[in-house]
């Protein structure tokens, strides 16, 4: 099987080939009612898909010039792989969304359409930490390559009823995290856990948050993969201690989003008292829980820190100009306060519009939905990603494959990170 690096290189090469083959802008497609049609590939299902499709229909009702043809392409990484295949066939969509960590690579490879051409300097009044300007070091000084879509931070979810019964409060430090996990763990006569005090996917995103909390940096601004240094070691060792030494943290089985789903089901079924997941699943957990769901900031070590995740809208180069204009008209619609709020309040993602957030404050939304406020408040501790084209490679090739082995097999955290650093630095 090819590495993620090979996939990315093939993606860049195939887009470039498609651009060369396409030459002139070409003719735009039109729907049966005469509107210019732009294809949009998206990467999730369930409630989030339903909300997105309803907003697309609202866009169609709001004007008569454009139509967005939305196509589901699997999860984030499946969608990226399919994008590469489509571009090889000169059939890239006019619009898609990709994880934030891959945008510097795609932009530096010259395979994205700069959005400044369409925005004419309009910054849409977006929340900086969720946008290119604040999500990346120096992001505002670069051409506009991406606009925020489903943006999130990791947060702690807990069984509020159980915590009240046990006299517990959400942990605010790493030491308190261990104490709460011990207090909430229940074991059977055979020593096996009947309820885990804490559960967290062994995933890059949560590890990056731990590194920041311990005072480290995953990747330096110049692209050097520091992997946290001593802070990276401490982050891995925290998980190792909670999983093996204290046996109060369950590492959910499965890779990528499969492990996230296990954690969600364990919280909902009562097999876990507290989990870490994305704010994206707030509405899902609140809707399906038979208890009061609480949300809290992630705890700190020497400081608080989280990395903003989720995806951003991009326009792959190569689509006819009229289709790109149709795609950007939809982006302008989605950046508006009303649509940004509708997306956020119906899913759990963070509103990207400053005016939209002000409206929610004014109407008392956050007073009535305090869990929604947690991720927004946590933006005060967001650490921007470096604008480094190797960021996605460091994530998917160097760190992610080694984290689970280090935590579950108790491999030396220092040796694991040395190995990951060497892999990240290889040509």
For each of the domains in the chain, give its residue range(s) and CATH number, in order of start.
4-152+309-381 (3.40.190.10), 154-307+390-425 (3.40.190.10)
More confident residue, 7 or 269: 269
pLDDT digits (tens, 9 = 90+) for 112-134: 999 999 998 899 999 999 999 99
Per DSSP, what are the bridge partners of residue 42?
A: 72
The Cα–Cα gap between 135 and 13 comes to: 27
pTM for this one? Answer: 0.90
CA distances from 171 to 53, 174, 175, 297 (A): 38, 7, 8, 9
The Cα–Cα gap between 138 and 263 comes to: 35
| 226 close to 219: Cβ distance less than 8 angstroms | yes
Per DSSP, what are the bridge partners of residue 245?
A: none
pLDDT value at residue 138: 94
**3-state DSSP call for residue 6?**
helix
The Cα–Cα gap between 332 and 55 comes to: 13
Answer whether residue 250 shows pLDDT above 70: yes
The Cα–Cα gap between 63 and 40 comes to: 18
Nearest C-alpha neighbor of 318 from the set 110, 117, 118: 110
Answer whether residue 22 shows pLDDT above 70: no
Token digits of residue 219:
């990747």
pLDDT digits (tens, 9 = 90+) for 394-405: 998 999 999 988
**3-state DSSP call for residue 155?**
strand
- What pLDDT band is residue 11 in, cutting at 50, 70 and 90? low
Token digits of residue 156:
């702690």
Following DSSP, what letter does each residue of 266-291 receive, concatenated?
HHHHTSBSEEEEEGGGHHHHHHH-SS
Of 16-30, 210-224, 397-411, give the lowest mean pLDDT range. Answer: 16-30
Neighbours of 367 (CB within 10 A): 10
């Amino acid at each position: 099987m090819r590495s993620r690096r090979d996939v990315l290189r093939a993606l860049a090469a195939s887009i470039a080939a498609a651009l060369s083959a396409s030459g002139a802008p070409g003719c735009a497609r039109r729907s049966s009612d005469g509107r210019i049609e732009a294809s949009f590939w998206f990467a999730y299902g369930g409630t989030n898909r339903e909300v997105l499709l309803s907003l697309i229909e609202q866009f169609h009702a709001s004007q008569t010039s454009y139509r967005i043809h939305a196509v589901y392409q699997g999860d984030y990484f499946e969608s990226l792989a399919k994008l590469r295949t489509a571009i090889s066939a000169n059939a890239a969509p006019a619009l898609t969304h990709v994880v934030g960590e891959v945008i510097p690579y795609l932009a530096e490879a010259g395979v994205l359409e700069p959005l400044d051409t369409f925005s004419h300097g309009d910054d849409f009044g977006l929340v900086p930490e969720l946008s290119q300007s604040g999500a990346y070091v120096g992001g505002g000084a670069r051409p506009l390559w991406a606009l925020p879509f489903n943006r999130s931070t990791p947060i702690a979810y807990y069984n509020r009823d159980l915590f009240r019964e046990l006299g517990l409060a959400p942990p605010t430090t790493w030491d308190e995290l261990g104490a709460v996990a011990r207090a909430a763990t229940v074991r059977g006569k055979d020593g096996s856990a009947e309820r885990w005090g804490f559960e967290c996917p062994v995933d890059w995103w949560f590890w990056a948050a731990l590194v920041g909390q311990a005072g480290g940096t995953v990747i330096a601004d110049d692209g050097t993969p520091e992997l946290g240094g001593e802070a990276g070691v401490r982050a891995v060792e925290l998980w190792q201690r909670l999983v093996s030494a204290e046996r109060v943290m369950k590492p959910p089985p499965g890779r990528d989003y499969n492990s996230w789903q296990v954690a969600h089901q364990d919280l909902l079924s009562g097999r876990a008292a507290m989990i870490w997941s994305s704010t994206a699943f707030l509405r899902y957990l609140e809707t399906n829980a038979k208890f009061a769901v609480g949300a809290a900031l992630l705890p700190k070590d020497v400081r608080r820190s989280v990395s903003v995740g989720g995806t951003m809208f991009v326009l792959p180069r190569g689509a006819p100009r009229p289709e790109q204009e149709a795609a950007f008209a939809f982006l302008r619609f989605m950046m508006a306060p009303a649509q940004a709020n509708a997306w956020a309040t119906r899913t759990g993602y963070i509103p990207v519009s400053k005016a939209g957030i002000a409206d929610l404050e004014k109407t008392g939304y956050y007073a009535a939905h305090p869990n929604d406020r947690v991720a927004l408040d946590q933006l005060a501790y967001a650490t921007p990603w470096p604008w480094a084209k190797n960021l996605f490679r460091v994530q998917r090739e160097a760190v992610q494959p080694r984290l689970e082995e280090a935590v579950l097999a108790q491999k030396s955290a220092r040796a694991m990170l040395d190995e990951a650093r060497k892999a990240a630095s290889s040509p």
